[in-house]
Each structure stands twice: as C-alpha cells, then as structure tokens.
Amino acid sequence: MSRRALLCGLLLVGCGGSDGVPGRDQIDASVTDGGEPADGPGSDANTDAHACAWTTRTLEPFVAGSSHSSVVLDPAGVLHVSFVAPGDGDLRYGTLAVNGTWSEGTIDSFAANVAHSVLVLDPANGLHISYTATGDGDLMYAYKPSGGTWTTTTVDSFAAGVAHSALVLDPANGLHISYTATTDGDLMYAYKPAGGSWTTTTVDAFAAGVAHSTLVLDPANGLHISYAAAGDGDLMYASRPSGGTWATTTVDAFAAGVAHSALVLDPANGLHISYTATGDDDLMYAHKPAGGTWTTTTIDPFATGVSHSTLVLDPANGLHISYAASGEDDLIYAYKPSGGTWTETTIDPFAEGVAHSTLLLDLANGLHVSYTATGDDDLMYAYKPSGGTWTETTIDPFADGVAHSSLVLDPANRVHIVYSVSTDGDLMYATRCL
C-alpha cells in the first residue's frame, strides 16, 4: 500500500478523486481565482492558522520539466529563482513577490541547455549566477544589479564541458568558482574581484576527473575545497590562503571512490566533511582542526550505499547530516554534538528510496528536510524542533516524481520550496509557516 493510501485510510481525510486522494486543485486552497496565492513568500499571513498549512502553486506551467533550479530570498522577502527550461535549453529567471506575483524572463537564450547553475545574492541585492552552457561547454557567469538587467560573460571558453561547479561571494564582493573542466578532468578555480575580470587557475591537474566538490571561504578569505579524484577514488582537499597558492592533500586514500561529499567550516577554522566511501558504501566523516591533520571516522557502516546527503553545523558546533541509506531506502539523520560521538535516527522508514533532499537549520536550531520519497514519488517534508523528534508530512502527493527541489527559510522560519514536477514538467512552489 502506498503512503498516500495509508494516510487516507488511517487519518480519514477527505480523499476525493479516482485514486482516493484530493486533486491538486483541492490542495491549492490558498490560491485565489486570479491564480495568485493569498500570501506570498514574506506575507504577514503567516500569523494566521490556515497559512501554516502547506500550500502549493504552479509558477511556470510550460517549461517541459525545469531542471537545475537555484533559489535565494532577499531581505525584502522576494524569492529569486534561476532555472532551466529543457524545452528550449534557456537559462531563465523569475521572482515571486511578497504579494504573490510571479514574474519571469530569459537570461541566456543561446546556452543550448544549462547544467550546474548556482545563484547567490550580494549585500546590495545584486544577483550572480555561474552555470555551464552545454552547447559549447563554456563556464558562464550572469549578473544583474538591483533594479538592473542581466548581462552574461564567458568565464572559461576552453573547459569543453563543466561539472560540479560551486560559487561563493567574499566580503569584498569578489567571486570564486571551483569547477571541473571535462576536457582533461582538472579541478579548476576562477576568480573575479569586484569590478574586475575573470581569471582561471588549475588547482589539481592530476585528478583525472573530479566529482562532488564543495567550496568554502574562511574569515581570512582563505579558500577550501573538498572533492573526489576520479583517477584513484581518493577523497581530496585543496586549500589556498588569501594571496597564496593552491596545495592539495589526500584526506582518505582508502575510499575507493567518493560520492555525495559536503564540506563545512566551524568558527575555529576546523574543517568537517561528510561523504560516502563507495568501496564499502559507508557514510564517513573527516575532520581537520585548524593547523592539524585529517582524521576519518565511519558514521554508518550499515548504510549499504548513501545518496543525497547534506551536512550542516549548528552554533554549538554540533554536526547534523540527512542522507538516504540505499540498503533499506530510508531517510536517515545523523548527529554529533561537539566533542561527542555520532548517533543515527530514521526519519522516514516508508520512503522506499529518497532523492533530492536538502537539510537546513533555522534560527531556533530546528531542522528542516525537503525530499522526494521515490516509493510514490511524493514531495515530502520533515521537521525536528530543537530537542524534539522528527515528524514528516506529504507536501505534494501528485508530483509523480520531483526533480531539482530547492529549500529556503525566511527570518520568520517560514519554509519555501521550489521544485519541478516530473509528470507535467511544471515549476512549482510550496510554502508553510511553523
């Protein structure tokens, strides 16, 4: 029996429709006759009891399966979304205003499809996107100042394909991108100072292909990258002090392949990596204190494969990971308090496979996970208040497959999810407050 049928039977909800479940038009209870929601991303309606229920709406109904979406929320409560319309391969951009109005346009109509796009917001509300134009394989950059229009620039025209790119903004508005050039499999780095132009540098010319790279910036503008070197399957680390040169180190030479790695930096400049060692399919953890050396620990030796893991650090230096354990297809949560040991908890034992999960920590140390339960292809949400236990909720039981979902929280802890529905290819939006 599917989760959908189980909920209808046990909770005795009004389950209309041919399969005993309310249709999407019944779920979209907060959408007005004009097609706009009664409350937008930053609406004051989140003090109303009804606004705390999940509502969904269609943002773009004709994008033929939007992919590679990235979302940021500005201080005024406006949601900014970059996405790709596979129907024409264009890089697109839309905004969802506080009053619920959705507006969209095209950034790059010559990309011939886009991969690995990342959207960031600067302190002046300028928008920056790094992406791959798959038509010619170039690494590209798009910029829109607040109130202005989009311009695009080629960052690396010799990449011949780019994979696993990451974009960060420094306090001086300099831009940093780590990426893989698929021509030679090198780990690459691109930099653009505020008001300047792009330069590129090879970080690791011996990687023979790079996967699952993560880039972070420390308070002194030092750069740190964790990545998997496909040539020998090692987990690797690259660092560059501000104004210095790149150096690389092997973190785990026995991984026999690495998947789904994530890197975070703590306030004392200690580094933490969660990753999957594909040799034995364990969930692993690596730590390096500032000035120290790397040590590795097995978190879950019974995962039998891990996918879609996310790592976050709380203000007390506790570490939190959500991940999918392929052996039993559950959504799992692992936690390690500062100085303590790892413990694991099952969040969703009925997922029958998990995809596109994202974990976020709110200002009250509550944890939020959005994910796809592949057993019935529903968009799901799980929440754990600080000191509490996990509860999970079905957001969209009619998605029949979700791709490239993005989760953000606003300062009031209201949850916003942008996702693509596989059945009809619509770009969708879901929201609720706590």
By the 8 A CB rule, do 118 and 166 touch?
Answer: yes
- Closest of 102, 77, 80 to residue 93, by C-alpha: 80
Q: Is the pLDDT of residue 170 over 60?
A: yes
| The predicted structure's pLDDT at residue 7 | 35
Looking at every residue in the chain, the average pLDDT score rounds to 81
By the 8 A CB rule, do 273 and 235 touch?
Answer: yes
Count CB neighbours of 209 within 10 A. Answer: 16
Report the range out of 101-115, 172-186, 307-321, 393-407 with the highest average pLDDT.
307-321
**Alpha carbon distance 215, 195 (integer Å):** 22
Least confident of 63-67, 129-133, 416-420: 63-67
| The predicted structure's pLDDT at residue 208 | 63
| The predicted structure's pLDDT at residue 50 | 41
Q: Which amino acid is at 401?
A: G
What is the phi-psi region of residue 68: left when phi exceeds 0, alpha when psi lies from -120 to 50, beta otherwise?
left
Q: Read off the pLDDT of residues 207-229 as tens digits, 9 standing for 90 and up.
A: 766 667 789 999 999 999 998 87
Q: What is the percentage of the chain residues whose pLDDT exceeds 70?
A: 77
The torsion angles phi and psi of 75, rounded to 5 degrees, stand at -60, -25
- Closest of 71, 14, 27, 24 to residue 407, by C-alpha: 71
Q: Is the pLDDT of residue 114 over 90?
A: no
By the 8 A CB rule, do 356 and 323 touch?
Answer: no
Q: Read off the pLDDT of residues 344-373 as tens digits, 9 standing for 90 and up.
A: 999 988 777 677 778 999 999 999 998 887
Q: Is the pLDDT of residue 25 over 50?
A: no
Q: Which amino acid is at 67?
A: S
- Closest of 140, 64, 57 to residue 416, by C-alpha: 57
**Alpha carbon distance 71, 417 (integer Å):** 9
